[in-house]
Amino acid sequence: MQGTNNPQNILKKHFGFDQFRPLQEDIITGVLNQKDTLVLMPTGGGKSICFQLPALLLPHITLVISPLIALMKDQVEALKANGIAADFLNSSMDEGEQNNLIDKLKRGEIKLLYLSPEKLLTLASYLEANIKISLIAIDEAHCISQWGHDFRPEYTKLAKLRDLWPNIPVIALTATADKITRKDIVKQLNLQNPNIFVASFDRPNLSLSVKFAVKKKQKLQEISDFIDTRKNESGIIYCLSRKSTEEMASELSEFGISAECYHAGLSSEQRNKVQDNFINDRTKVICATIAFGMGIDKSNVRFVIHNSLPKNMEGYYQEIGRAGRDGLPSDTILYYSLGDIMLLRSFIEDSGQKELNFEKLNRMQQYAETPICRRKILLAYFGETLEMPCNNCDVCKQPRSTFDGTLLAQKALSALVRTEEKVGNNLLIDILRGSHRKEIIENNYDKIKTYGAGKDLPYSDWQKYLLQMLNLGLVEIAYDDNHTLKVSDFGKEVLFGKKSIDLVKTDELQKFEPKKKRNLLEDDVKDLDKELFDYLRSVRRQFSEKENVPAYVIFSDATLQELSEKKPIQISDLLHINGMGEFKIKKYGNTFVKEIKQWLRNNDVKAPKGNTYKETFELLKEGYSIEEIAEARKIHTTTIYSHIAQLYSKNEIDSLDPYINSVEIELVRKAASELGDTKQLTPIFNHLNQEIPFHIIRLCLAYIEKELG
């Protein structure tokens, strides 16, 4: 491991977190030990830190390969906001800008350089000859595999990296890859005996809901009502075509909703403007094509709506994963219809790897149609088992009821057979409902025995039942015969009474209604906390506009929420807030503490005191460890240590021996003296080469102060 720093100190200093997320520390340790690594971690799970943090500990430059210019820009802005020397090199830069950046590389002024696969390969020979490199990170690594859902031919050329830099470790990262794709990534990149880490794909903060066969007008009203309950929140609506993104954005605008469309047919300038409006919260809703990646790292997206069925589970998972990246509760809703399936199947007929793509679409259908916990189905796809129902999907919240649908299915199958299987979905429903449309009369379908046999059911119900029959395999769509329906072998067994089937009741399919969501910003915090949160958001906005960066780059919503709950009124209190690293405390800390104090005065609210020290003291007396107390009280271990320092100063506890030793005391004493008898933690921390943690310094200062009387 390079330097005197260690990962834990870097995590706190630059990223503002006291604890690593699951697997992060093990991944980082392996990378620092020069091991090739493959990381599968869900969107918002903390993938980036797995290469960004080692980059700060390694002696030379880390190259980061990323497929999207917008994503590079977003991550570089976030790194710079944390005081980290990062930059990107891409085709949007002119020759002068590129030369200036290369000069900075030569001078060793950049720790992380982001670039596209094409740009890397163009400059590979130059970089190999002139720039020292410590690590190569490949983001969105599934793009290299033909089995991946977002295969990009330019990624396959990255196999040359091993030839150019045979001794440089490579870390490949992705949020979505099934087992066959994982194996292909290792093979394509020629990773040498890599460490492979698969994090949990569970995103429990995301609610999952699916709605079937909702008419366009009703769907638009539902989506509008849904967004209206989230006035100050951002969301994405995924659509199947460019035209539908434009229509959706236009229709939502007529409802008074700030919405824009985003697709590959727009000019680069138009896309950049739309994206900039969205990430800076000027546009609340963006309507995007499923096929076109957004390439943003916006942490405060609160909902993702699919206007139609995605073509596979990988794409769906990645798209819903854009919501709630800050860990706060967020909603996802998927609308789909039989028309979506027919259109997607016709696309697959004209594509390569038909068999694989049909299977992936079938799995997507099974997820949408499942009568059991959706999260179980989603996680099972990625090889993970969820033993208990999640209680945060529409199925868990409102379990489906089924009925014996054999007779109903036999009516439809009989009608289909009597038309000699020459009709499609819509015409079959009209026959069952006894319609007098011209086509029925001309073909004498009004003369068959089952004409009008289903007139007791509304058209929309028949749509839903036929969709279930399709998913159950009773009927098939003949794409080479004008998309007419054919009875399958299984359907014939049901038709002739050899097999029975259960169908989900149509009223059960309509149970989920958009309503005001349960979220931590409204239901789970006090009104005053919510008011302070909104106030701090306006403070954040001022910095955002001044620095011309997205608001979430300054602080995430999760950090603002923690500030509004804990109401820190001293700079030292900010050390216990997640997302408050040393650089950001120095840059923004005084302003936020001042504004919180002012807000408390204006609203006649006393600064939080309570019995927090006493609660810690009582748990210590009962023999609980620091970690157990922190977990029980839902606060950080560093906060518990600050309580112990305060309790010691007030003679509530007699000794600090369990927590500090004489060597640490003397080192802190000497550092404080050399710095002019300071009591500030950060100068002492830096003076001691960041080798003694903040909480130990705090305890040593408490000991020294008491010793001096």
- Per-residue pLDDT tens for 262-273? 988 888 888 888
Residues with Cβ < 8 Å from 599, sequence gap 6 or more? 532, 535, 605
* Of 504, 492, 490, nearest in space to 414 by CA: 492
Confidence of residue 411 (pLDDT cuts 50, 70, 90): very high
Task: Identify the residue with better confidence: 637 or 513.
Answer: 637
Report the alpha-carbon angle 243-247-253, nearest 5. 150
Residues 545 and 497 in one domain: no
pLDDT for the residue 404: 92
pLDDT for the residue 392: 94
pLDDT for the residue 517: 34
pTM above 0.95, yes or no: no
Residues 31 and 134 in one domain: yes
Residue 637 amino acid letter: T
Domain count, the chain: 4
Task: Specify if 638 maps to a domain.
Answer: no
pLDDT (mean) for 35-40? 93
Domain boundary among 572, 602, 632: 602
Task: Identify the residue with better confidence: 222 or 602.
Answer: 222
Q: How high does pLDDT run on average in the chain? A: 84
Q: How many residues does the chain have?
A: 709
Task: Specify if 585 maps to a domain.
Answer: yes
Residues 257 and 354 in one domain: yes
pLDDT for the residue 377: 78
Residues 244 and 383 in one domain: yes
Residue 408: which H helix or E strand, with range? helix 406-418
Task: Specify if 113 maps to a domain.
Answer: yes
Residue 595 amino acid letter: E
d(CA 205, CA 201): 12
Domain boundary among 509, 535, 555: 509
* Of 558, 563, 554, 569, nearest in space to 529 by CA: 563
Domain boundary among 509, 543, 573: 509
Task: Specify if 554 maps to a domain.
Answer: yes
pLDDT for the residue 292: 53
Residues 428 and 379 in one domain: no
Range of the domain at 549: 527-602
d(CA 212, CA 367): 12
pLDDT tens-digit readout, 170-208: 999 988 776 678 888 898 888 999 999 988 888 899 999
| CATH code of the domain containing 342 | 3.40.50.300
| Percent of the chain scoring above 90 in pLDDT | 29
Residues 466 and 491 in one domain: yes
What DSSP character marks residue 13? I
Residues 426 and 450 in one domain: yes
Task: Specify if 707 maps to a domain.
Answer: no
Token pair listed for 83: 């005081």
Residues 15 and 42 in one domain: yes
Task: Identify the residue with better confidence: 500 or 477.
Answer: 500
The DSSP bridge pattern shows strands 112-115 and 61-65 to be parallel
pLDDT tens-digit readout, 61-76: 999 998 777 778 878 8
Residues 59 and 149 in one domain: yes
Residues with Cβ < 8 Å from 519, sequence gap 6 or more? 302, 328, 329, 330
| Percent of the chain scoring above 70 in pLDDT | 91
Task: Specify if 610 maps to a domain.
Answer: no
Task: Identify the residue with better confidence: 365 or 67.
Answer: 365
* Of 581, 542, 566, 483, nearest in space to 78 by CA: 581
Task: Specify if 1 maps to a domain.
Answer: no
Confidence of residue 632 (pLDDT cuts 50, 70, 90): low
Phi, psi of 162 (to 5 degrees): -65, -30
Residues 44 and 159 in one domain: yes
Residues 320, 196 contacting (CB under 8 angstroms): no
Residues 163 and 252 in one domain: no
pLDDT for the residue 609: 55
Residues with Cβ < 8 Å from 113, sequence gap 6 or more? 61, 62, 63, 64, 86, 87, 88, 89, 105
| CATH code of the domain containing 451 | 1.10.10.10
Residues 409 and 480 in one domain: yes
What DSSP character marks residue 393? B
pLDDT (mean) for 531-549? 88
Task: Specify if 622 maps to a domain.
Answer: no
User: At which residue do the structure tokens 């005001």 appear?
Assistant: 516
